[in-house]
Chain A
């Protein structure tokens, strides 16, 4: 018996986790996930440490209250976006407010058309790695009344760029697997895939830009690579839902103007045929994250991520756009018919729970 076999035999007899521990862990995860649909939940311990310094400067209940209501916070203490970016974001915010949102009348739908490209990767049977850019396009129809069916159309996928010679066929296969055909799902309250009712919790967000940015720093504290990067990511993730009303969009632009490191990274960035100004922030992990805004209308065109280093495992080199999302929001009179309930034939996704999305009385809140 060599040392490895010995070591393995030592580890061999470990039992599986108890059913109790397994379900406890799962419950914890599901609860954790449920607490944060689009918004990261703050880690209470880290948040405490985070604000420990601030409150110590002027201890007292008043300051604590001001922090908690986001009147005071991290925003503005360490500067903000560079001057040109801040000024352009402020113009975009003004444009957003001038161009009011379309109104969804009774029987109509808000249609969110999302064209997304992501980097997928495959390891072949011969241990070779390659990466590809794959599409992930969808349209979501949100009814005027949340209790009516929401409709999600998922387009067939395809690989549009392959990093690595001779892998074109495998890339297409990988991109299409499970998404060969258009799929239509419907679910009241947007509970697709048996998820909880779709709620972006936009009402929780302060409309004052300074308070909004404090709020964002507070709820994202302790997450991500850096506090500023995570705050920018929050803004980008919220915007790309396509459901953000004009006044909140304007506040988010102004909040972005308060984040150090944000600058104009492309004066004429084209995404999906539309051209706008890219505001980006370079993160320590080697990615440039950008939001692209149409300066005329203040509408978000989309977001994209640029890799700034050469990958070790595949042929993705610095400067490559490794993902983007273009979002268009319109009001339409009808949504496609047919499709499966819950996006899953009404069956629970993981074998837990039961057809929740078919229950019209399911509460919206967690």
Chain B
């Protein structure tokens, strides 16, 4: 195949792609010579062009229009959707619920994950076995995890209530998912159970990249185990922590499946999160324009969160 083209292409011959602003003849020659590279990229770029670039532009267009998908007209409404967003108590409530969920579930998941990773990193037997145990919920489909926990939370016959009563922590069965104040904590517990294993594995990988010499040196200097944890382990894990924090927060801000299965956003909309609210607006009320505006609002929040995290933590990352 293509024997004629099979010349050696050593990289330094290639003109730097940064310089030419207007395509010069040499760029064209280069493009023709490397035609197959574009072919390799074509299917991927076609999909990105349609389902990301075009989609984002279209979403932006929609957010300035009012459109019920069942009707052909899409009247232009300017910034109305965004203005409506600012005064929408329901969306505000959804934001607060999402922040509550994120603020509690992410630190819990990462903290417990770190604790287990530290325990597993000690000189113990069967660490592979324990690692597998704690990782099992991660590979369980989220829908199934939500179904199992919904059952565990059941009011009068739920397993959780039974053991809490046995341990004399509560006297009466709690109506976990139908109590406005308990529903979100219940969802959070499920999410933590589901994702602790992921934090654990990432932290384990981080722990194993810390050079042993640091600990030896600290021991020579007489540092206690707590000091070593506080002054060596935790700081040297900061890049792992940053990575986990960013992706966990992004994931938590988009929580949906647990809510859909366990609470349907209730009781009293107390577990209606942003994504659930957008889902309802778009696919139950068919208010596509307004839902698109919400999606951009959410995008802005996620972007801001990530920037803040990077800014705050960059100073702390040690290597």
Q: Do A and B come from one complex?
A: no
What is the interface of chain B, defined by CB distance below 8 A to chain A?
none
